[in-house]
Structure 1
Amino acid sequence: MNTAASYAPRYDRQVGLWLAACAAVIFGMILLGGVTRLTESGLSMVEWRPLMGIIPPLSEGEWQSVFDKYRQFPEYRLVNYGMTLHEFKVIFMYEYLHRVLGRLIGLLFFIPLVYFALRQRIRPGLLPKLLLLFVLGGCQGLLGWYMVQSGLVDRPDVSQYRLTAHFGLAVIIYGFMLWLVLDLLAPPAGTRRSVLAPWALGFVLLVYLMMLSGGFVAGTNAGFSYNTWPLMGPTFIPEGLYRTDPAWLAAFEDVVTIQFNHRIFAYLLTALVLALAVAVLRREPAARVRRGAWLLLAALLLQVVLGISTLLLHVPVPLAAAHQGGAVLLLSCALFLAHGLRRLPAGGLP
């Protein structure tokens, strides 16, 4: 659909800015998804209507009909029994906005994609990656409904496995898109790759695994099990770790073990960020990667403060949502640094 003969490098900026806008909206989508989870709003819409679902209830009669359907499911009977129609409207709107934003992201991505492809403004080799992103976006919608279904049965809560998979795929889409943005908008590729580049990419993976750990914390409400820091109750290592059969299952289903693992992961990442940033600042004189190292340190500091505050204040919604956003910001800074270390200008320290 696009050829090297018709493509011009000046189009990279247009495509890059479009993808940057999409990534920014996905960032907002991840934040809204966190708020939806924190406010226990995700099960308020008990039907999945990909096309007609974009139209909300418009009359009191329609609102009452939607509310009556919600009252047939376990969350109302076991958690929200006696909820008024006005209270239901609040949780419904969080989930409704989350779903509508997902559809808008699809349009924001698909329509410009078709335009740029037909006008042959997409860099050779990039179109298959963009199509993969579109397919992943569709899978994300299906996975979201698969997650909601797990809470419409006998247990009035979504599966932590499906929740973490839904969150993890959103982060993959965001990270992949941001990497393409950096390819398109960053300065021209240099002639040298830093010896620290593989370590930086490994750190990106660790941040992602840390975010998945946070998904299990959210999915099991493990953040409420111990609200003290640096100790968990009276000790650093709480009693009851890995006391399941089999023991490895505790890492995904026991709230004490899940919170402990998340804390230890945070300590490990903090040490690794400091080591990586110091190494970059000592070895690499290029302004872009030095800026990336400082940004990574700033994002780490913000995330640590948000994480501890969220824990000590018993997981208030604004702070917990900010903590999730801080994780995405930390991943963004890690990607920026890793990308810069792979395309350095010639010269510099050996």
Structure 2
Amino acid sequence: MQGSTQAIEGHRETATRARPLALARWLLIVAAMVAAIVAVGGITRLTESGVSITEWKPVSGAIPPLTQAQWQAEFDAYRQTPQYIEINGPAGMTLATYKTIFFWEWVHRLLARGIGMVLVLVTAWFGLRREIPRGYLPRLGALIALVGLQGAIGWWMVQSGIVNDVKVSHFRLAAHLLTALFTLGGLVWTALDLIAHARGEARHRLTGLGLAALGVLGLQLFLGALVAGLRAGHVASDWPLMQGQLFPEGVDWSQGAAHALLGDPFLTHFVHRWWAWVVVAVLVIMARRLRRAGARSVGVAIHSAFGTQVLLGIATVMSGIALGLAVAHQLVGALLVAATVWGAHALGRRPEGPRG
């Protein structure tokens, strides 16, 4: 009996000391870092920098080469890759040019280390002070695991460009990007649950409409990742037509429809363009439902995000994949994920009191 009383008092003390709003703010900071790494990842891909660092050194790799000999060793390792042998070598790449692509991949990896470090330290700080609300520690652990998984997938992706091809596998690139965006969604949802907890609300549930919106958006993001990995954005620079017609010529059907959808740049680009309007339709329905539920600001955020994303997508194609526009398109894609998660969370508000 005494043990039960002590346990109850311990739970009460933890609930009293919990700081859900402070923890939520930190999670949103980490979410912003994830959005930033998505943008840097876009720069890395578009500048063909992804395989410039040929080794995965989680700790020592945070320090870039400092001497001429170290730079030369890194360059010599890169010169063994298919990308250098088949493309950059014949083009006359110099050590100075190599340093440029090395910089973007190094920044990308450094930011990834920072995300993991901040999330671990924040969890440890709040955990040791017993300021994490009950039930949230496993979720924070899962988010930390996702960040670690993201790093492993990133190296798995880079390996495909070091050994097999002049570019990384578009499937591995898709896995890398989608894991990052899934982590972003998890961070935002958990932060919103903590904010609801501070208000005395129950954890929000995922409704059918919320799941549908996240599902159609997830498919569009997957298609976008395939377009990026296949360099499919370059196959047409006109819009809404492709090469002057509705359906493009040049689709290779020889290995079947599934292979064409997932591996032919013409068809993947075409489907990515038109699935976007399915996403828009579902998000418009979500935004209207949110407005009726009294969450007009969330609906405005969703409309702003998908409207900007569509315009950026069109501008990126018509510009011939200009670097700035393409990176902005990828960044706003991450912001659209955050806005859609916010909308799905708002739709799932429970009218009754808090639970757990």
TM-score (normalizing by structure 1): 0.92
Residue equivalent to 2:330: 324
Q: Does 1:130 align with 2:140?
A: yes
Amino acid at match of 2:36: G
Find out whether 1:149 has 2:168 as its counterpart.
no
Aligned to 1:8: 15
Give the Cα–Cα distance (whole angstroms) in 1 for the partners of residues 200 and 308 of structure 2.
31
1:150 shift after superposition: 0.3
1:242–1:248 contact (8 Å) kept in structure 2: no
Q: Cα deviation per residue 1:142-192 (whole Å; 9 max; x = unaligned)?
A: 111110000112411100010100111111111001100111124736689
Cα deviation, 1:94-136, whole Å, max 9, x if unaligned, reads 0011111111111111112112111111111111111111111
Number of aligned residues: 341
Offset at residue 240 of structure 1 (A)? 4.2
Q: 1:189 to 1:215 in 2, by over 3 A?
A: farther
Mapped to 2, the partners of 1:209 and 1:67 lie a distance apart of 38
Q: 5+ unaligned residues in a row in structure 1: which ranges?
A: none
Tell me the percent identity. Answer: 38
Aligned match for 2:185, one of 175, 190, 197: 175
1:271 shift after superposition? 2.2
Deviations 1:273-318 (A, max 9, x none): 223323443x32x2xx111111111111111110000000011111
Match of 2:77 in 1: 69
**Unmatched segments (≥5 aa) in structure 2:** 1-8
| Aligned equivalent of 1:273 | 283
Aligned CA distance change for structure 1 residues 36 and 193 (closer, same or farther; 3 Å): closer
Q: Does 1:95 align with 2:105?
A: yes
Q: Counterpart of 2:37 in structure 1: which amino acid?
A: M
Seen in structure 2, the aligned counterparts of structure 1 residues 130 and 3 have a Cα distance that, compared at 3 Å, is farther
- Cα offset, 1:71, TM superposition: 0.9
Contact preservation (8 Å) 1:16, 1:180: yes
Task: Tell me if 1:188 matches 2:199.
Answer: yes
2:243 to 219, 226, 233: 233
Deviations along 1:168-221, one digit per CA (max 9) or x if unpaired, are 111111100110011112473668989x94213310221122111110000000
TM-aligned CA distance change 1:20 to 1:278, over 3 Å: closer
Distance in 2, Cα, partners of 1:197 & 1:332? 17
Distance in 1, Cα, partners of 2:311 & 2:180: 24
Residue 54 in structure 1 maps to residue 94 in structure 2:
no
Q: 1:130 to 1:192 in 2, by over 3 A?
A: closer
Q: 2:315 corresponds to which residue?
A: 309
- In the alignment, residue 199 of structure 2 is paired with which amino acid? P
Q: How far 1:227 moved relative to its partner? A: 1.0
Q: Provide the rounded CA distance (Å) in 2 between the counterparts of 1:104 and 1:139.
A: 15
How many angstroms apart in 2 are the aligned matches of 1:344 and 1:133?
A: 24
Q: 1:248 Cα shift?
A: 0.7
State the distance in 2 between where 1:59 and 1:325 align: 34
Structure number having the greater helix percentage: 2
Which aligned pairs between 1:192-207 and structure 2 lie closer than 5 A?
Answer: 197-207=207-217
Q: CA deviation at 1:8?
A: 3.0
Alpha carbons of 1:79 and 1:344: their partners in 2 closer, same or farther (altered >3 Å)?
Answer: same
1:18 pairs, out of 17, 26, 29, with 26
CA–CA distance in structure 1, aligned partners of residues 202 and 194 of structure 2: 17
Contact kept, 8 Å, 1:192 with 1:345, in 2: the verdict is no
Deviating more after overlay: 196-205 vs 114-123:
196-205
- RMSD of aligned alpha carbons: 2.2
In the alignment, is the contact (CA less than 8 A) between 2:43 and 2:323 conserved in 1?
yes
Once residues 334 and 273 of structure 1 are traced to their aligned partners in structure 2, the CA distance between those partners, rounded to angstroms, is 8
Among 106, 112, 117, the alignment partner of 1:107 is 117
Change in Cα spacing, 1:32 to 1:237, as seen in structure 2 (3 Å) is: same
* Whole-angstrom distance in 2 between the partners of 1:154 and 1:191: 50
The reply on whether 1:342 has 2:333 as its aligned counterpart is no
The answer (yes or no) to whether the contact 1:242–1:251 under 8 Å persists in 2 is no
